[in-house]
Structure 1
């Protein structure tokens, strides 16, 4: 299965490395070039025990790569995991700006894709975020 993972923090990088270790072809996507460079050099931008050897194995086996070319890689994949940050705002509400950006990118990518595409939200979100934010954003942009 060809997988894209948006976000290379704890959730995204561990998800991507694990899916690659299971034999999937995974592209981890991020807007931060320095994180992608570290990943492609076999270095983890986060600390998680056992993660770096898993990244190196995935890269060596050509099952894992990092990229900043988000839409170009989504269109070539079968499934996309949204694993972006959802920090709290000053008022305590959840900041969905990264979720909105990721879902907009997915929608734009799907304009050029025939067939189905599965989207999984792994980010921490409140109930109904997928139905009220992610899905409408994808549909509006596609």
Structure 2
């Protein structure tokens, strides 16, 4: 009996943790930039429309990267950016682009940065084989 109560308590805690995760808007084709509350403040993230009629999440990531670069050129200092597209979050940082179902959950690597800073699908860039010195 006691083991059953413990198992039910653990299951309920797991479900509560899942339901408290922040979800992205599910509007079809709409790309959002996400603004998180300042450190120490409580509240919900804000979603701002960046582009509409985006056919894929990669297109939204490209729009967000373009916005990030424009802000940096204007003197901004934020190098990391969070966006959202059709129920998924997009995380952009120095290493590349990651996708996730929630702000708090697991992130999956999607696009890598090339040597010159552009974004590409991992493994899509072929480097020429080095020829041995003669």
TM-score, normalized by the shorter chain, greater than 0.5: no
Name the structure with the higher strand share.
2
Q: Greater CA radius of gyration, 1 or 2?
A: 2
Larger relative contact order (Cα-Cα within 8 Å, sequence gap ≥ 6): 1
Name the structure with the higher helix share.
1
